[in-house]
Amino acid sequence: MSNTLLITGTDTEAGKTVITTVIAAYRQKYYPQSSLGIMKPIQSGVGDRELYQHLFTLDQSPEETTPLYFQAPLAPPIAAAKENRTIDLALVWQTLLKLQKRHDFLLVESLGGLGSPITYELTVADLAGEWRLPTVLVVPVRLGAISQAVANVALARQTKIDLRGIILNCTQPCTEEEITDLTPPDLIRSFTHIPVLGCLPYLEASTNLEQLAQVGSNLDWEILF
């Protein structure tokens, strides 16, 4: 799984999609000789798959980008039940292996947060640990972020996730003082013992790949790549 990176978050709307587009844009700009794949294993409702297909030229079909697609924007087990379907994790696993073989680097964006349910028995954290996916945790800059970071890192350790780092993300415009007050990197590192790779500024639905790549250049990639 060394060529794969899972992007997950502390909760829904943490900024996983933004981080995924930033990393993808950075990889394409600074590693142009390296083939890139993007995967959203399970999607409920319209959103990320459509964005990735629009932004990036990917050597993969929409079905490979998102093997399991449900109409209702709900937790997968609930969305699947509404369509009288089941969560076929074998299909997700087979697609993941196929994309890993085809690409030099594969980004996998999880649904929700580490504790989000995939089935009635398994969470994102369970799969990340069982499938041994190197992982980055996105922590939004907001009140309560420190406790969320600590709790999610504890869950990652419990499920034996290879957690490579934390990325802070401004989900709304933030000053440097607000970032320091709400998500002090040193305090988060002290409690979690996980490196903080940097903080992304607020990006309002950016589709400018040059801008996304430039923002990505401010993160500490040596730990990841």
E-strand stretches of the chain: 4-9, 36-39, 42-44, 68-70, 105-113, 135-140, 163-169, 196-200
Q: Which residue has the higher pLDDT, 113 or 225?
A: 113
Known catalytic residue at 40: yes
204 DSSP 8-state letter:
S
Band the pLDDT of 12: cuts 50, 70, 90: confident
Checking if the pLDDT of 51 tops 90, the result is no
Band the pLDDT of 65: cuts 50, 70, 90: very high
Q: Which residues are registered as beta bridge partners of 123? A: 117
Lookup: tokens for 221: 């990639």
Checking if the pLDDT of 83 tops 90, the result is yes
* Residue 14: strand, helix, or coil: coil
Q: Which residues are registered as beta bridge partners of 140? A: 169
Mean pLDDT of the chain: 92
Checking if the pLDDT of 96 tops 90, the result is yes
Checking if the pLDDT of 36 tops 90, the result is yes
Among the listed residues 29, 40, 82, 160, the single catalytic one is 40
Checking if the pLDDT of 45 tops 90, the result is no
Band the pLDDT of 225: cuts 50, 70, 90: low
Cβ atoms of 3 and 105 within 8 Å: the answer is yes
Band the pLDDT of 1: cuts 50, 70, 90: low
